Amino acid sequence: MNAALTPAQLLASLEWRYATKAFDTRKLPDVTWAALEESLRLTPSSYGLQPWKFFIISDPAVRAQLRPFSWNQSQVTDASHLVVFARRTEITEKDVNDFFHQMVSERGADASKLEPYRQMMLGGVVKGKDAAGQKEWAARQVYIALGQLMGAAAALAVDTCPLEGIDPVAYDGILGLTGSGYEVVVACAVGYRSTEDKYAAMKKIRYPASRVISRV
For residue 45, being part of any structural domain is answered with: yes
Classified as helix, coil or strand, 160 is strand
As for how many domains the chain has, the answer is: 1
For residue 156, being part of any structural domain is answered with: yes
**Contact (Cβ atoms closer than 8 angstroms) between residue 51 and residue 45:** yes
φ, ψ dihedrals at 73, nearest 5°: -70, 130
For residue 133, being part of any structural domain is answered with: yes
For residue 170, being part of any structural domain is answered with: yes
For residue 68, being part of any structural domain is answered with: yes
Closest-CA residue to 200 (of 76, 78, 21, 26): 21
Pairing of strands 159-163, 52-57: unpaired
Task: Give the chain's radius of gyration (CA, Å).
Answer: 19
| Those residues with Cβ within 8 angstroms of residue 122's Cβ, 6 or more apart along the chain or in another chain | 93, 96
pTM: 0.96
CA distance 190 to 178: 25
Summarised one tens digit per residue, pLDDT across range 6-27 is 999 999 999 999 999 999 999 9
For residue 87, being part of any structural domain is answered with: yes
CATH of the domain at 195: 3.40.109.10
**Can you give the residue range of the structural domain that contains 81?**
25-91+129-212
**Across 146-169, average pLDDT:** 99
For residue 20, being part of any structural domain is answered with: no
| Those residues with Cβ within 8 angstroms of residue 111's Cβ, 6 or more apart along the chain or in another chain | 100, 101, 104
CA distance 103 to 155: 30
Summarised one tens digit per residue, pLDDT across range 28-74 is 999 999 999 999 999 999 999 999 999 999 999 999 999 999 999 99
Residue type, 189: A
For residue 47, being part of any structural domain is answered with: yes
Q: Report residue 4's pLDDT band, with 50, 70 and 90 as the boundaries.
A: confident
